[in-house]
Amino acid sequence: MSSFLPFALPLLGEDEITEVTDTLRSGWLTTGPKTAQFEKDFGAFIGADYALAVNSATSGLHLALEAVGVGKGDKVITTTNTFTATAEVIRYLGADPILVDIDPKTFNIDPNEIRKIADKHENIKAIMPVHFAGQSCEMDAIREIANENNWKIVEDAAHALPTTWQGKMIGTLSDITVYSFYVTKTIATGEGGMIVSNNEDYIKRMKVMRLHGISRDAFDRYTSDKPAWFYEIIAPGYKYNMTDIAASLGIHQLKKAHAFQERREWMAKQYNEAFADLPATTPFVAHPDDMHAWHLYVLQLELESLTINRDQFIELMAEEKIGTSVHFIPLHLHPYWRDRYDFKPDDFPVALDVFNRAVSLPIYPKMTDDDVKRVIDTVTKILKVHTK
């Protein structure tokens, strides 16, 4: 009997294990030299002037919005097709999200929809595009709209390492960009994230707010060979710093980011070829010359040609012991967002239709070629059996 194939697993090697062991033996477990090294390496990898490690992408987005001046009564534009973290950080600051529908092909935020609402709201401070599944949003159009309206751009790049837009790395195109290293992401530190920016003032603010609003890092104070106990609280900050244990994983995961991407891209091509003649739509790649991170592989079931719906398909995959997921349940369908802003399901018709058809298949470097074939064979069997 086949064993269960999870939807996602990290790929960790001896380099990561050795680095973590070295950190444990060093006695310095929280934010310290390994975190500083990871920040330096990550900034160089992206081509950004500054990088700041945090304990999650959620905390990174919170710090980013606070740094660009989002506050009570302000509004931030983002997509309904995302995880709640993208929007909840807006509420942390007393601001309100303005949700926008998505492009029916890429499932990214639709710049045409942004333009439609640009003049309908006051106090818009920023726009937060989400690079869905690892494919870049249309950043030229988004930047044009932002510049016209004097909005800041904070990119949610949780899916987007190492994604490019017109040959440039995501992370070099806007005011602030935030990455995720959650265990299922393209590189993994268990929990963790990274903020990148070319704006020194934003980085300085976020560095202070990352750790309680303290004027000096603990590492600087506790490793000094002279009395360095004094510090000042200069803002009501948060507790968002990364540990050296997590950074130890990140140092080596980052070195493998391109190899991981190549493996996921190969898997996506196998899926695309295998599913081409089935009643399902494979992911659309808008700009083939750019790098797609392939964090997710989202198949759209052509329900009109099937005798099962998306939920039944997922159940049948589970019966075959293959894990799947759905990305995403649109925000406007969740009770908190729905009730607070009086959303109706068809307020965002594209996102609603995509949600009803979408299923995410396993696509991660730890999968073997046999695992990939197993997914292909199982999807093919289910869809052929249930074709009208």
Please calculate the CA angle 190-253-167 and round it to the nearest 5 degrees. Answer: 115
Q: Where are the alpha helices (DSSP H) in the chain?
A: 14-26, 33-46, 57-67, 84-92, 111-117, 139-149, 200-210, 218-222, 244-255, 257-275, 310-319, 335-341, 349-357, 369-385
Burial 260-273 (b: 16+ CB within 10 A, else e): bbebbbebbebbee
Which one, of 298, 313, 277, 312, lies nearest residue 354 by Cα?
A: 298
The answer to whether 286 and 297 are in contact (CB under 8 A) is no
Q: Is the Cα torsion angle 42, 46, 51, 56 positive or negative in sign? A: negative
Q: Identify whether 185 is a catalytic site residue.
A: yes
Of the listed 185, 226, 373, 384, which one is catalytic? 185
Query: Residue 293: is it exposed, middle or buried by C-beta count within 10 angstroms (0-12/13-18/19+)?
Result: buried
Q: Residue 281: exposed, middle, or buried by beta-carbon count in 10 A (0-12, 13-18, 19+)?
A: middle
CA gap 310, 313 in Å, rounded: 5
Question: Tokens 């945090």 correspond to what residue?
Answer: 54
Residues labelled as active-site residues? 185
